[in-house]
Structure 1
């Protein structure tokens, strides 16, 4: 069994304040016996006002939130899956980047969100991530205390081909950090998370943003841990931020894959 911690946040527009929350969560995770902590998408700053946000978006090497988490991971001996941070990428455009930070504080892997949230919701909300962010191109996995971890971010969940690739990579767990809107969360969050766990025969850990944010948006919460059979092991609800713990049992992965060997049976289909 591997004990993990999941952080549900209401990130604001000030990276220093968010970094303080993250550092505190790393310490709390360690005190609770967790080997690994998972945090939501945009853990470092959630701000839809891009002019204001631009003052805080920096390169990976100079990002204060990443530096603080790396130090906390090293000091507490906890591996951290940072859901994502807004950073300046190599081409000058922003990237929505996830990290796995080892218990020694070193960066194990990084993943740039592939699918941009460009939508018009029936509520009148409009989102155009591609106006500011460059999409990632690579499928990424990392070796962690929960085994081989596949990295995704939020809107990626709606694209089964990515999860098929992570299934082919025999991931033991998949991180799906998110800042889901309330309307889409209420309609699709639970069913999509459970479906992705079932498809990949893997654990899903979905740390989420929750509540009313400083920039005016509202997020759904309900951070989840789902087992490979699709059973929800943890649901943190939609009322507010907090930290919770769950157990990842690697034997459950093999048990499910023996019962329903869908990964072994999957065929390549030409259209």
Structure 2
């Protein structure tokens, strides 16, 4: 199955971001991808964290969800919808949610980001918990490609990448999704190392679409959207700016890695 990690440099303008996302999804479809994954905050990188509150949608309805459903249906793609703000239990928070849409345009999975990013080095400060309500449950799902092959997907978002226990809870996944908006500082230090580690220790493919560039809010995101194979080899990468990283998932390669080094069978804890 061919997959695509879509890299964006999202702005505060939702309409412009959706137009940019459509163009990338169209490119992925034209290139033969069956699954395309958008980055975290693909629909908007606001000027303030609280801008997310004004964009929140109820689960199952809203223009951003309508866009994802229409794109999946019209382009015939499995779409991992990066993240978008969904209503939480109070008006001061939203869930940072990743939705998966089938080629029929149906939403078949929802994952609310569990681990909330906080960072302060004296120059940059982030605290997602101020406006984001954490999720609580790991999510995995099975999809079927056009050839009838079944693939098990594990969902995660950005900062989740630093918590390997989440991925251990998604046993048996063939493909781990990590839509992200890593800062330039933390991405330069840790992004590729963490992605390759998650692929190696879970003997799974990893697809990580990211924000990559300078944003209107002053944030600089690392980019380097990656596809990684179960041995930790980088299959595709786009460094900065909008674009897509394409990779072919190979069931035989997956089985070979797991058979030659059956580490998953050797787990004790």
Rounded to whole Å, the distance in 2 between the matches of 1:14 and 1:87 is 18
Query: Following TM superposition, by how much is the alpha carbon of 1:244 offset from its aligned partner in structure 2, in angstroms?
Result: 3.1
Task: Say whether the 8 Å CA contact 1:45–1:86 is kept in structure 2.
Answer: no
Looking at structure 2, the residues matched to 61 and 108 of structure 1 have their Cα atoms a distance apart, in angstroms, of 11
After superposition, what is the alpha-carbon deviation per residue over 1:112-152, rounded to whole angstroms, capped at 9, x for unaligned?
00000022125x11111111111111010011237101000
CA contact 2:52–2:85 (8 Å) conserved in 1: no
For residues 143-182 of structure 1, what are the structure 2 equivalents within 5 Å?
143-144=142-143, 145=145, 147-166=151-170, 169-182=171-184
Kept in 1: contact 2:213–2:223 (CA 8 A): yes
Aligned to 2:87: 88
CA contact (8 A) 2:10 2:45 kept: yes
2:157–2:180 Cα contact (<8 Å) kept? yes
**Distance in structure 2 (CA, Å) of the matches to 1:96 and 1:48:** 17
Aligned to 1:260: 261
Query: Is the Cα–Cα contact under 8 Å of residues 19 and 69 in structure 1 kept in the other structure?
Result: no
- Residue 212 of structure 1: SS of its match in structure 2? coil
User: What RMSD in Å do the two structures reach over aligned CA positions?
Assistant: 1.4
In the other structure, the counterpart of 1:71 is: 70
1:244 maps to which residue?
245
Unaligned runs of 5+ in 2: none
Measured after TM superposition, the shift of residue 73 of structure 1 is 0.7
> 1:17: Cα distance to partner?
1.2
* C-alpha distance in 2 between matches for 1:82 and 1:28: 16
Structure 1 gap segments, 5+ residues each: none
User: Does residue 194 of structure 1 match 2:196?
Assistant: yes
- CA distance in 1 between counterparts of 2:41 and 2:62 reads 13
C-alpha spacing 1:184/1:51, structure 2 compared with 1 (3 Å):
closer
Match of 1:206 in 2: 208
Q: Secondary structure at the match of 2:110?
A: strand
Query: In structure 2, what is the Cα distance between the partners aligned to 1:157 and 1:31?
Result: 30
TM-score normalised over the length of structure 2: 0.93
Q: Residue 218 of structure 1: SS of its match in structure 2?
A: coil
In terms of mean alpha carbon deviation, does 106-115 or 87-96 score higher? 87-96
**Contact 1:7-1:241 at 8 Å conserved across structures:** yes
* Count, aligned residues: 263
TM-score by structure 1 length? Answer: 0.93
Please give the alpha-carbon distance, in whole angstroms, between the structure 1 residues aligned to 2:37 and 2:74: 17
